[in-house]
């Protein structure tokens, strides 16, 4: 671990985090939930909010992809994604839903402000982010895509968006 410069669980918990939280809106796949934990750990994100039908730890399918990140990343479960983002907005977070909609901002064009905190909302694998959540978001961000498919697996999407924003906030 020392050669890889990895933090211990305790060091992770005490380390300053990047000003980003993940909000999972009715994510069905427990493997995707586990991947979200692993990505949040990798990029030192503040927290994960698991909303609606999104599964919660402990569960072996979450653990299979999280590889222990449920022990490092702080999380909460809430029934309502809309109420969760409203509370986050009240706490000073800028809410960004990641979705393909008219008037979305392409990820490569989105420039986060360094003095702000961001809540990144990722939706259900089939239905995406709830319409009411989109309507109450400060921004809707879309990942540019160029092939024949016009969607990415949520775990891939979380990784791309998290890396992009962490990199931009670090500049």
- Dump pLDDT digits (tens) for 25-74: 999 999 999 999 999 999 999 999 999 999 999 999 999 999 999 999 99
The reply to whether 4 falls in a domain is no
Residue 27 lies in a domain: yes
Query: What three-state secondary structure class fits 37?
Result: helix
> What is the model's pLDDT at position 168?
98
How long is the chain? 171
pLDDT at position 2: 58
Q: Classify residue 145: in a domain, yes or no.
A: yes
pLDDT of residue 6: 84
The whole-number pLDDT of residue 84 equals: 98
Q: How confident is residue 107, by pLDDT bands cut at 50, 70 and 90?
A: very high
Query: Cα separation of 95 and 119, whole Å?
Result: 5
- The total of structural domains in the chain comes to 1
C-beta of residue 49 within 8 angstroms of C-beta of residue 74: no
Closest CA to 54 of 122, 107, 144, 7: 122
Which element (helix H / strand E) includes 49?
strand 45-51
Q: What is the pLDDT of residue 12?
A: 87
Q: Say if 3 falls within a structural domain.
A: no
Q: Give SS3 for 36.
A: helix
> What residue numbers bound the domain in which 16 lies?
9-170
Q: Which of the 8 DSSP states describes residue 61?
A: H
Q: Report the CATH number that the domain containing residue 15 is assigned in CATH.
A: 3.40.1280.10
> Quick check: is 2 in a domain?
no
Q: Which residue would you say has higher pLDDT here, 160 or 171? A: 160
Spell out the residues 6+ positions from residue 90 whose beta carbon is closer than 8 angstroms to its own. none
**pLDDT at residue 3, as a whole number:** 63
What mean pLDDT comes out for the span 142-168? 96
What's the mean pLDDT in 125-146? 97
* Coil/strand/helix, residue 145: coil
Q: CB-hemisphere CA count at 13 Å for 67?
A: 7
Q: Is residue 156 part of a domain?
A: yes
The SS3 call for residue 107 is: helix
pLDDT at 162 over 90: yes
Task: Report H helices in 116-153.
Answer: 131-135
């Amino acid at each position: 671990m020392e050669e890889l410069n990895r933090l211990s669980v305790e060091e992770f918990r005490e380390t300053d985090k990047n000003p980003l939280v993940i909000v999972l809106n009715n994510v069905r796949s427990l493997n995707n939930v586990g991947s979200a934990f692993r990505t949040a750990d990798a990029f030192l994100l503040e927290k994960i909010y698991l909303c609606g039908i999104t599964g919660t730890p402990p569960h072996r399918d979450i653990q299979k992809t999280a590889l222990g990140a449920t022990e490092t990343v702080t999380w909460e479960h809430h029934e309502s994604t809309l109420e969760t983002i409203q509370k986050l907005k009240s706490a000073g977070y800028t809410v960004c839903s990641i979705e393909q909609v008219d008037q979305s901002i392409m990820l490569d064009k989105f420039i986060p402000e360094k003095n702000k905190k961001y809540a990144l909302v990722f939706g259900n694998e089939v239905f995406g982010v709830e319409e009411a959540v989109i309507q109450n978001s400060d921004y809707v961000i879309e990942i540019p895509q160029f092939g024949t498919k016009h969607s990415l697996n949520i775990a891939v999407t979380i990784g791309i968006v998290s890396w992009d924003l962490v990199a931009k906030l670090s500049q």
